[in-house]
């Protein structure tokens, strides 16, 4: 069926027995689920039972690439982690850039599965079809980049270079939102994959191979790559100049910026411009950072040159800035860079970490906790030093950090009265957008399969805030909008391509055929949106199997409170408004009133055949 793009091989490693095997992925499965996120969901449905808990030895982890991953086209860097995540306790899909996905392909595989638990701390080394374990007590306690350096120090030089993954102390301490770092700068940030890898006693992994991914039409791929580069030079020029940090100013100006733990959604410009993208660019920028074969190079490496945070270096993205910045009452890019760097060193997700420190600050502000409860540390809005110290407390499970390290799910269990101060859906915390300023984002958070997520849930920013077609405060029409965006994103996440560049390949809701034809020799274009819909329904059915109902497609109580200032003043999303959006969304999805996919919907999408789901 395919004359390129796929290797059709999967490497399965049993960490308990240290045996490994190579399996074949049938063409028909590749056609139905495309790759990366789609293959991960299909695998999870068959191999991870609803009863398994995230840190159980029976939990497994899969890393799948897409047909574009590692091809000579621009930004073909993405691969997908699928597992039961510690943050939500349910299905987790998470994607990352970096060289690991491309190098896994060059080693000869479209996927890697880890199962069981190693008898001691180890690092995995995959060199083509050879798998080695580097056992060593010295792995424990290292930061992700220290573990990477230590691992690379034990490996021979290779061309191309080894690609790595590694975890930090937060993962070892089972922080529910600990991440897995890829190479020296990207991560599976959300959902707690780091703690799952730590539960398997794998501190780091390296992969190497040098066999190029086969292409159906190499000359056409070269031509498409050339044209994409020309397109991106202009279409993504601002991204190159300011990165995602460019969003801070407009999102605040539109009244959608989480401010002091979402107590409001807007701040006076002079109280937020210290964390604008332009400020990062003018005062802190030292160089751009590019993922694998990416000409956009949107990463903005910043360095603090003076003041209390001098010497700190990080590449803060918009989400990290929003949640470690304004949501914590911080108007100092130096503090944000230092907090971002610390999260990277500890190995924690900046989004959830920022949210939960902001929650802690609000608990202090309301007098619900005191320094006595927190090992002597006061954590107040606007205090950058306290922000950093609280991040350390979380990773070390010290003071209130002992509770906060368990994420929204653990906090709500231990201290239900704090639940209303956590901005979350299905136990994953909000991204840096306040949906009271654009209600489709509320529906996206509520229905996102992995919990509140602006990407998986549907990135409505362009349509609701930047475009003219939608009234951002309307609830009608948002069900169809969110469904379409979710399905579009599901197929993009399955290609192995960075979403930032998808326009250059015309991977819209009406994709054109040339790119996938050149890579695989198969005309995927007419099927891509259906593949996205298939993946969305498969993931929903997995969540239904794990106990999700309509009640879980919810927003936290703060969303029912009117915004108190700024352009979105007076706006809110009541439960009734969410119900209107959910009714429309379920109807266009072909789900029943409880949000369960109807049998005929599963049948239509070819999902009725997956026995574990029915």
Give the distance from CA 197 to its chain's centroid. Answer: 16
Q: Name which of 243 and 435 has its Cβ closer to ligand SF4.
A: 243
What is the distance between the alpha carbons of residues 245 and 274, in angstroms, rounded to a whole number? 12
Task: Provide the terminal-to-terminal Cα distance of the chain, rounded to the nearest Å.
Answer: 29
The answer to whether 10 contacts ligand SF4 (rule: CB under 6 A) is no
- Going by C-alpha positions, the residue among 253, 311, 306, 261 that lies closest to residue 278 is 253
Least spacing, CB of residue 498 vs ligand SF4, in Å = 3
Q: With CB under 6 A as the contact rule, which of the stretches 27-35, 54-62, 286-294, 567-575 interacts with ligand SF4?
A: 286-294
Which residues, 6+ apart, have CB-to-CB distance to 476 below 8 Å? 580, 584
Outline where 370-498 has alpha helix (H). Answer: 384-396, 401-404, 407-414, 439-447, 478-495
The answer to whether 216 contacts ligand SF4 (rule: CB under 6 A) is no
Q: With CB under 6 A as the contact rule, which of the stretches 259-267, 296-304, 361-369, 428-436 interacts with ligand SF4?
A: 296-304
Three-state SS at 82: strand
Least spacing, CB of residue 563 vs ligand SF4, in Å = 31
The answer to whether 163 contacts ligand SF4 (rule: CB under 6 A) is no
Q: Name which of 105 and 200 has its Cβ closer to ligand SF4.
A: 105
Q: Name which of 149 and 290 has its Cβ closer to ligand SF4.
A: 290
Q: Name which of 81 and 296 has its Cβ closer to ligand SF4.
A: 296
Least spacing, CB of residue 443 vs ligand SF4, in Å = 26
Contact with ligand SF4 (CB under 6 A): which of 175, 280, 294, 358? 294
Three-state SS at 347: coil
The answer to whether 225 contacts ligand SF4 (rule: CB under 6 A) is no
Q: Name which of 228 and 501 has its Cβ closer to ligand SF4.
A: 501
- Going by C-alpha positions, the residue among 194, 170, 169, 189 that lies closest to residue 55 is 194
Token readout for 575 is: 């439960």
Contact with ligand SF4 (CB under 6 A): which of 215, 280, 298, 485? 298
Scanning residues 388 to 427, which ones bind ligand SF4 (CB under 6 A)?
none
Contact with ligand SF4 (CB under 6 A): which of 301, 498, 548, 582? 498
- Going by C-alpha positions, the residue among 164, 159, 149 that lies closest to residue 104 is 164
DSSP letters, 123-183, are EEEEETTEEEEEE-GGGTT--HHHHHHHHHHTS---SSPPEEEE--HHHHTT-TTB-EEET
Q: Name which of 2 and 289 has its Cβ closer to ligand SF4.
A: 289
Least spacing, CB of residue 78 vs ligand SF4, in Å = 8
Beta-sheet strand order (sheet of 285-289): 285-289, 299-303, 313-314
Least spacing, CB of residue 102 vs ligand SF4, in Å = 11
Locate tokens 């220290």: which residue? 146
Q: Residues of 532-544 as b/e, b for ≥16 C-beta within 10 angstroms? A: bbbbbbbbbbbbb
Least spacing, CB of residue 503 vs ligand SF4, in Å = 11
What is the distance between the alpha carbons of residues 195 and 180, in angstroms, rounded to a whole number? 9
Count of chain residues binding ligand SF4 (CB under 6 A): 13
Token readout for 420 is: 């209303």
Least spacing, CB of residue 220 vs ligand SF4, in Å = 22
Residue 304 has a CB neighbour count (10 Å cut-off) of: 22
Residue 440 C-beta-side C-alpha neighbours within 13 Å: 25
Q: With CB under 6 A as the contact rule, which of the stretches 113-121, 288-296, 503-511, 573-581 interacts with ligand SF4?
A: 288-296
Contact with ligand SF4 (CB under 6 A): which of 117, 218, 253, 290? 290
Token readout for 17 is: 């027995």
Positive or negative torsion for Cα 263, 357, 407, 185: positive
Least spacing, CB of residue 229 vs ligand SF4, in Å = 12
Scanning residues 23 to 82, which ones bind ligand SF4 (CB under 6 A)?
75, 77
Cβ atoms of 489 and 499 closer than 8 Å? yes
Q: Name which of 324 and 498 has its Cβ closer to ligand SF4.
A: 498
The answer to whether 97 contacts ligand SF4 (rule: CB under 6 A) is yes
Q: Name which of 180 and 405 has its Cβ closer to ligand SF4.
A: 180
Token readout for 292 is: 């694998």
Contact with ligand SF4 (CB under 6 A): which of 296, 411, 453, 475? 296
The answer to whether 205 contacts ligand SF4 (rule: CB under 6 A) is no
Q: Name which of 228 and 338 has its Cβ closer to ligand SF4.
A: 228
Least spacing, CB of residue 230 vs ligand SF4, in Å = 16
The answer to whether 182 contacts ligand SF4 (rule: CB under 6 A) is no
Least spacing, CB of residue 77 vs ligand SF4, in Å = 5
The answer to whether 299 contacts ligand SF4 (rule: CB under 6 A) is yes
Least spacing, CB of residue 500 vs ligand SF4, in Å = 4
Least spacing, CB of residue 515 vs ligand SF4, in Å = 16
Q: With CB under 6 A as the contact rule, which of the stretches 320-328, 363-371, 412-420, 493-501 interacts with ligand SF4?
A: 493-501
- Going by C-alpha positions, the residue among 505, 472, 476, 474 that lies closest to residue 488 is 505
The answer to whether 246 contacts ligand SF4 (rule: CB under 6 A) is no
Token readout for 400 is: 């209130």
Instruction: Return phi, psi of residue 568, to 5°.
Output: -95, 15
Least spacing, CB of residue 491 vs ligand SF4, in Å = 17
Cα radius of gyration (the chain): 23
- Going by C-alpha positions, the residue among 233, 268, 241 that lies closest to residue 252 is 268
The answer to whether 335 contacts ligand SF4 (rule: CB under 6 A) is no
Least spacing, CB of residue 344 vs ligand SF4, in Å = 16
Three-state SS at 416: helix
Outline where 73-130 has alpha helix (H). Answer: 100-106
Least spacing, CB of residue 293 vs ligand SF4, in Å = 8
180-182 and 79-84 strand pairing: unpaired
Contact with ligand SF4 (CB under 6 A): which of 386, 500, 528, 543? 500
What is the distance between the alpha carbons of residues 403 and 214, in angstroms, rounded to a whole number? 49
Interacting residues toward ligand SF4 by CB under 6 A: 75, 77, 97, 290-291, 294, 296-299, 498, 500-501
């Amino acid at each position: 069926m395919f004359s390129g793009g796929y290797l059709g091989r999967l490497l399965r490693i049993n960490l308990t027995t240290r045996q490994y095997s190579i399996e074949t992925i049938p063409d028909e499965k590749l056609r139905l689920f495309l790759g990366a996120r789609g293959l991960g969901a299909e695998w999870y449905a068959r191999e991870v039972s609803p009863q398994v808990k995230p840190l159980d030895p029976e939990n497994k982890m899969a890393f799948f690439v897409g047909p574009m991953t590692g091809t000579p086209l621009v930004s073909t860097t993405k691969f997908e982690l699928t597992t039961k995540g510690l943050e939500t306790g349910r299905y987790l899909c998470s994607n990352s850039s970096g060289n690991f996905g491309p190098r896994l392909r060059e080693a000869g595989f479209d996927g890697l599965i880890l199962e069981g638990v190693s008898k001691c701390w180890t690092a995995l080394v995959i060199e083509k079809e050879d798998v080695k374990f580097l056992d060593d007590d010295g792995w424990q306690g290292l930061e992700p980049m220290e573990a990477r350096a230590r691992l690379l120090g034990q490996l021979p030089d290779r061309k191309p270079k080894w690609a790595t993954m590694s975890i930090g102390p937060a993962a070892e301490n089972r922080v529910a939102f600990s991440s897995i770092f890829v190479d020296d700068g990207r991560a599976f940030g959300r959902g707690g994959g780091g703690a799952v890898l730590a539960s398997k006693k794998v501190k780091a992994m390296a992969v190497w191979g040098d066999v190029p991914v086969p292409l159906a039409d190499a000359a056409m791929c070269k031509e498409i790559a050339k044209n994409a580069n020309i397109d991106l030079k202009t279409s993504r020029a601002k991204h190159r100049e300011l990165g995602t940090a460019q969003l801070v100013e407009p999102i605040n100006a539109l009244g959608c910026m989480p401010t002091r733990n979402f107590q409001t959604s807007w701040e006076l410009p002079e109280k937020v411009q210290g964390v604008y993208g332009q400020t990062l660019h003018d005062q802190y920028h030292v160089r751009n950072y590019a993922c694998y074969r990416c000409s956009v190079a949107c990463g903005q490496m910043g360095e603090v040159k003076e003041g209390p945070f001098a010497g700190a270096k990080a590449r803060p993205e918009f989400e990290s800035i929003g949640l470690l910045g304004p949501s914590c009452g911080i108007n100092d890019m130096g503090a944000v860079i230092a907090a971002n760097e610390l999260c990277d060193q500890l190995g924690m997700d900046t989004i959830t970490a920022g949210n939960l420190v902001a929650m802690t600050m609000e608990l202090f502000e309301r007098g619900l906790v005191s320094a006595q409860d927190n090992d002597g540390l006061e954590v107040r809005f606007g205090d950058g030093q306290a922000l950093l110290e609280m991040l350390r407390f979380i990773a070390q499970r010290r003071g209130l950090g002992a509770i906060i390290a368990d994420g929204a799910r653990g906090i709500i269990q231990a201290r239900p009265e704090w639940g209303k101060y956590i901005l979350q859906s299905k136990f994953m915390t909000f991204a840096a957008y306040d949906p009271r300023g654009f209600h489709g984002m509320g529906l996206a958070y509520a229905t996102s399969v992995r919990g509140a997520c602006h990407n998986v849930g549907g990135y409505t920013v362009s349509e609701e805030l930047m475009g003219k077609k939608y009234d951002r405060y309307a609830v009608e029409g948002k069900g169809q909008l969110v469904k379409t965006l979710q399905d579009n994103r599901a197929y993009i996440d399955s290609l192995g391509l960075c979403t930032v560049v998808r326009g250059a390949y015309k991977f819209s809701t009406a994709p054109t055929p040339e790119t996938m034809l050149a890579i695989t020799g198969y005309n995927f274009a007419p099927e891509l949106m259906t593949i996205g819909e298939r993946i969305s329904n498969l993931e929903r059915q997995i969540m239904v199997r794990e106990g999700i109902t309509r009640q879980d497609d919810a927003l936290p109580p703060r969303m029912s409170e009117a915004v108190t200032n700024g352009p979105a003043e007076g706006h809110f999303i009541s439960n009734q408004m969410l119900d209107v959006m959910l009714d429309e969304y379920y109807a266009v999805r072909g789900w029943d009133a409880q949000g369960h996919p109807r049998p005929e919907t599963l049948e239509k999408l070819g999902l009725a055949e997956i026995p574990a789901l029915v």
